[in-house]
């Protein structure tokens, strides 16, 4: 099993003439820095939609927000929030487990996270079906579906990343060294971002 690991392949081409090893001029790993910067740009993408939200709600100053007759399912969304937030803890547990070479804990954590994320998405789609208005119904419909939908798309991408991590976890490809579990850590960081962003979306759209 271990022979198939990605880490093992790094050593195969040591004898092959290749480029010299780059000097590591910062303590942070390249991949981690890369995902953090990517998240920065994602935050700004959400920022564009929050800017639109601000204009539609505050600057355009509609008579009522949400419009008359629209009742948002705050309770269900709240439960959904709890589901997503708890998945942040399970993915953290998975990372801690593999740091201590606990493969069982890794698999348990990643699978639970995946299931929690999928549940969140399922409830979200159900909410869309039963919410009683569409993206075409006024500016409120547009921004509601755009913000929650943009976030939903990010949950979907996060789930894909977690799927890949799960596959490799079940094949035993990860190890306690940082370079051997970047495949868990990077999706994990992305997943934390998706969670935190949901809390902000939830507060903006459902609560205030």
Judged by CB under 8 A, the residue of 77, 99, 117, 140 near another protein is: 140
> Which of left, alpha, beta for 69 (phi over 0: left; psi -120 to 50: alpha)?
left
Q: Do you find a cis peptide bond into 136, omega within 30 degrees of 0?
A: no
Task: DSSP letter for 172, please.
Answer: T
Judged by CB under 8 A, the residue of 132, 156, 164, 176 near another protein is: 164
Judged by CB under 8 A, the residue of 1, 15, 25, 104 near another protein is: 25
Q: How far is the CB of 169 from another protein (least distance, A)?
A: 9
Judged by CB under 8 A, the residue of 1, 2, 15, 26 near another protein is: 26
Query: Nearer Cβ to another protein, position 81 or 189?
Result: 189
Sequence-distant (6+) residues with CB within 8 A of 32 are 182, 185, 186, 189
Query: Nearer Cβ to another protein, position 80 or 152?
Result: 152
Evaluate whether 186 touches 35 at the Cβ level (below 8 Å). yes
Span from 60-68, 83-91, 93-101, 117-125 in contact with another protein (CB under 8 A): 60-68
* Count of Cβ atoms closer than 10 Å to residue 113 Cβ: 27
Evaluate whether 125 touches 159 at the Cβ level (below 8 Å). no
**What CA dihedral angle connects 24, 39, 161 and 202, to 10 degrees?**
150
Query: Nearer Cβ to another protein, position 17 or 75?
Result: 17
Q: Kindly state the greatest CA–CA separation across the chain.
A: 72
Span from 26-34, 69-77, 79-87, 100-108 in contact with another protein (CB under 8 A): 26-34
Judged by CB under 8 A, the residue of 1, 2, 15, 22 near another protein is: 22
10 binds another protein (CB under 8 A): yes
125 binds another protein (CB under 8 A): no
Query: Nearer Cβ to another protein, position 112 or 142?
Result: 142
Phi then psi for residue 20, to 5 deg, are -65, 150
């Amino acid at each position: 099993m271990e022979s198939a690991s990605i880490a093992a392949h790094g050593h195969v081409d040591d004898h092959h003439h290749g480029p010299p090893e780059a000097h590591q001029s910062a303590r942070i790993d390249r991949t981690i820095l890369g995902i953090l910067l990517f998240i920065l740009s994602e935050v700004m993408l959400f920022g564009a939609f929050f800017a639109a939200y601000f204009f539609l709600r505050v600057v355009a100053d509609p008579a009522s927000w949400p419009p008359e007759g629209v009742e948002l399912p705050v309770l269900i969304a709240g439960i959904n929030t709890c589901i997503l937030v708890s998945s942040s803890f399970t993915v953290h547990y998975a990372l801690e487990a593999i740091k201590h070479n606990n493969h069982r804990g890794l698999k348990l954590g990643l699978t639970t996270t995946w299931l929690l994320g999928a549940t969140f998405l399922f409830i979200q789609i159900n909410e869309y079906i039963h919410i009683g208005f569409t993206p075409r119904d006024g500016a409120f419909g547009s921004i509601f579906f755009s913000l929650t939908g943009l976030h939903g798309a990010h949950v979907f991408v996060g789930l894909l990343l977690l799927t890949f991590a799960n596959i490799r976890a079940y094949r035993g490809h990860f190890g306690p060294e940082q370079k051997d579990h970047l495949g868990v850590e990077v999706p994990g960081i992305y997943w934390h971002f998706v969670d935190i962003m949901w809390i902000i979306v939830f507060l903006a759209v459902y609560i205030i």
